[in-house]
Amino acid sequence: MKKSNYKFEFEVYDSINDLPETDAKLLAKARKTAETAYAPYSHFFVGAAAILKNGKTVTGTNQENASYPVSICAERSLLSSASALYPEVAVETMAISYHNHNNNAISNRPISPCGMCRQSLVEYEGRWKNPIRLILSGIDGKVYVISKASHLLPLSFTSEDLK
């Protein structure tokens, strides 16, 4: 038997004010975009904003449905829009933020994409042969910067497994 391990490093910033200007603007866009989410059931508004390799910015929000499995997360909403508008253009960096509108809830810590979004992010990294850098934060507070989305899904299932 052989043991193995997996670990990765990421950057932690105390606030949006400590980020480089381009990252701070993208995160501010994600925070603003979160307020346009359609979240009448969970009241958990998520927004994502991405810079593409062509310099364009694309956004996405969570879109809930009374039939919960029909809902879509902000990250996948963004990836779908980006690939429909610019099918051959990779996402370079995606910022993800949220605002929890439930009673007395706080929104001051980074959240991470759900498992389905992690799988989608890995798929798009492979499709574009380009890592997707992630900026994760709440409506305020600490910010995490992860160099590539695939760090969040070790041992992922990819197109290589289908060959």
Model pLDDT for residues 27-41, shown as the tens digit of each residue: 999 999 999 999 999
For residue 121, the surrounding DSSP H or E stretch is: helix 115-128
Query: What pLDDT was estimated at residue 30?
Result: 98
Helix (H, G, I), strand (E, B) or coil at 10: coil
Domains of the chain: 23-152 (3.40.140.10)
Q: Of 93, 24, 28, which Cα lies nearest the Cα of 56? A: 93
Predicted confidence (pLDDT) per residue in 54-93, tens digit: 999 999 999 999 999 999 999 999 999 999 999 999 999 9
Query: What pLDDT was estimated at residue 10?
Result: 98
Predicted confidence (pLDDT) per residue in 103-117, tens digit: 889 999 999 999 999
Active site residues: 75
Bridge partner list, 49: 59, 95
